[in-house]
Amino acid sequence: MSQLSWGSRLRSAIADRGRLCVGIDPHPSLLRAWGLPETAGGVETFAEICVEAFVGDVALVKPQVAFFEAYGSAGYAVLERTISVVRAAGTLVIADAKRGDIGSTMAAYSQAWLGEDTPLASDAVTVSPYLGFGALEPAVELATEHGRGLFVLARTSNPEGGRLQGARLLGGQLDAADLSGVSAGESVSVAQSIVDAAVAQNRDGLDTVGLVVGATRGHGLDLSEFSGPILAPGLGAQGATVADLAEIFRDSRELLLPNTSRDVLRHGPSVSALREAAERVRDDVENGLA
């Protein structure tokens, strides 16, 4: 196991550079706005500008894997280089890959994103629990071994997710791995069952398992027993404000990681403008959650 747990590494990064997580999302519209071609070369220039602007000023960056994957092997090569450079500089990388599968396939995904010496090795990765929370066990084991983290989708920021994530289940309908003190007659939402499973998983005190909980609306979750990290997308362009963060997560602030992407990235391609925008949002978040 790594000398430091994911929770310890995350607390150290937050203490040094605040809790803001900035996306590296080379969306086609942003490439055009920055005057870059919609090619792997354009994505590489985009990523290089982001790295120069953000490394050393924010605690975490979150590359959206899909925008690199769209350019095939060349795009993945850009992503590999970006992750390597950022991590070498001491900034934490959350790969927004949303992987989720079962058995040997999940083990392979885990090795790709959380392995010790793999080209895509990141500090944390987003994962989907909708094949059952227990199916994530290979990722949990590898992340724990290497002092890395997972962010499990619980209550996402998109409105389409509400019907599924808010659906109610009886305790008896849930797999044992998804239960934490829910009796057979109790009703719990799908999203709450994920929170409860994460609480159970984190009883070792390492905070390996984090949650993705959107900042754009009241989540309706009981987070009172959850002390791990929460990645909160939606700040800025999706409509969430720092005041919303303070209200929605009023009892879950220690490892809260607000995520912003377009609201900062629209200031590119100027490195100085990007850096200033990230610093401004970072400081607003720290002041608003103090």
Residue 193: CB atoms within 10 Å: 24
Token pair belonging to 146: 């290497």
Which residues have a Cβ under 8 Å from the Cβ of 88 and sit 6 or more positions away? none
Please identify which residue in the block is written with the tokens 């994460």.
198
Q: How many Cα atoms sit within 13 Å of 60 on the Cβ side?
A: 34
The active-site residue out of 81, 87, 98, 217 is 98
Residue 203: CB atoms within 10 Å: 9
Which residues have a Cβ under 8 Å from the Cβ of 153 and sit 6 or more positions away? 98, 126, 127, 128, 129, 130, 194, 212
Q: Alpha-carbon distance 266 to 100, whole Å?
A: 31
What does the CA dihedral 13, 66, 146, 101 come to, rounded to 10 degrees? Answer: 140
**Residue 98 annotated among the catalytic residues of the structure:** yes
CA distances to 150, 183, 189 from 168, rounded to whole Å, are 25, 14, 4
Distance linking the first and last C-alpha atoms of the chain: 33
Which residues have a Cβ under 8 Å from the Cβ of 284 and sit 6 or more positions away? 242
Catalytic residues: 98
